[in-house]
Amino acid sequence: MAGGGKREARSRFERIYALLRSRICLLDYPPGMRLREEDLAEEFATSRTPVRRVLARLEDEGFLRSVHGVGTIVTDIDIDSLQQVYQLRVELAELVGKLSPVRPDAARLEEFRALLDRCDRLKGEPDAREFARINMDFFHLLMTLTANEPLREFSERLYYQTTRIWLKTAARLTRYEDMLQAEIRFFRHEVADIVAAIESGELETVGHIRRSHVAMSFARLYAEAHPQSP
């Protein structure tokens, strides 16, 4: 295959992979749902080979599992199984401003400010799905602050292993609206603090802020899953 063909195949693979991962994390594909190679190949107008490779990668990362006689199934998650993943995320978060830091240019800084504006609009019109999308976009923006590729790759893998737990937890709560409003406020504070740190050129501070908020996010989710007896 010529170089252009390889790049095109790689781009198609990454596009399908990112989209399916997003659908799983936004619960468009809920736990227990079966994914069929032939259906996905038809949707993306491609052969089953790249789809099979994408599904294998998602299975390797814990999003899917193969069940004999059934097919490829979206996995379930719970906060207890993610405790060690969150612990590692907390430790890695602080490294963003330390390892190969990249100071954002004016255009990148505007992206951070635009995301803060999205948070403000979300406060007026709370929406769980949009909240999850903004959170994902914010994570990817944060990863532009480091040129350390292993840190970026590993942080992304851990982030996506945990990101759908919030939607799953919130959806089953009777006080869902209150929790959503609270999480939007917490997240908006995090974004505002990080934007202020970036504007001041304090990239190491960004890592400290992120570490604190990841730890607090896990603590809140864990408390929701394990309410104390009266």
Q: How far apart are CA 206 and CA 109, in angstroms?
A: 13
Tokens of 201: 């050129």
Instruction: Single out the residue of 201, 213, 214 nearest to residue 82, CA to CA.
Output: 214
8 — pLDDT class (breaks 50, 70, 90): confident
Rounded to two decimals, the pTM is: 0.91
Point out the least confidently predicted range of 1-15, 59-73, 94-108.
1-15
Tokens of 56: 């294998």
The whole-number pLDDT of residue 170 equals: 77
Q: Which residues, in sequence order, are CB contacts of 186 under 8 Å at separation 6+?
A: 213, 216, 217, 220
Tokens 């790249």 label which residue? Answer: 50
Q: Helices 128-143 and 164-171: crossing angle, nearest 10°?
A: 160
The whole-number pLDDT of residue 211 equals: 96
Q: How far apart are CA 165 and CA 136, in angstroms?
A: 13
pLDDT digits (tens, 9 = 90+) for 121-145: 998 889 999 999 999 999 999 999 9
Instruction: Single out the residue of 178, 140, 184, 186 nearest to residue 21, CA to CA.
Output: 140
Start-to-end Cα distance in the chain:
66
- Other beta carbons within 10 Å of 140: 12
As a whole-number percent, the residues of the chain with pLDDT over 70 amount to 97
CATH numbers and ranges of domains, the chain: 3-74 (1.10.10.10), 80-225 (1.20.120.530)
**H or E segment to which residue 203 belongs:** helix 203-225
- Average pLDDT, whole number, for the chain? 91
DSSP label of 229: P
**H or E segment to which residue 34 belongs:** strand 34-35
Average pLDDT of the segment spanning 91-109: 95
pLDDT digits (tens, 9 = 90+) for 134-175: 999 999 999 999 999 999 999 999 999 999 998 888 777 667
- Long-range CB pairs of 83-91 (<8 Å, 24+ gap) are 83/218, 83/222, 85/158, 85/161, 85/162, 86/162, 86/214, 86/215, 86/218, 88/158, 89/155, 89/158, 89/159, 89/162, 89/214, 90/211, 90/214, 90/215, 90/218, 91/211
pLDDT digits (tens, 9 = 90+) for 18-73: 999 999 999 999 999 999 999 999 999 999 999 999 999 999 999 999 988 888 99
The whole-number pLDDT of residue 229 equals: 46
3 — pLDDT class (breaks 50, 70, 90): low
**H or E segment to which residue 92 belongs:** helix 83-93
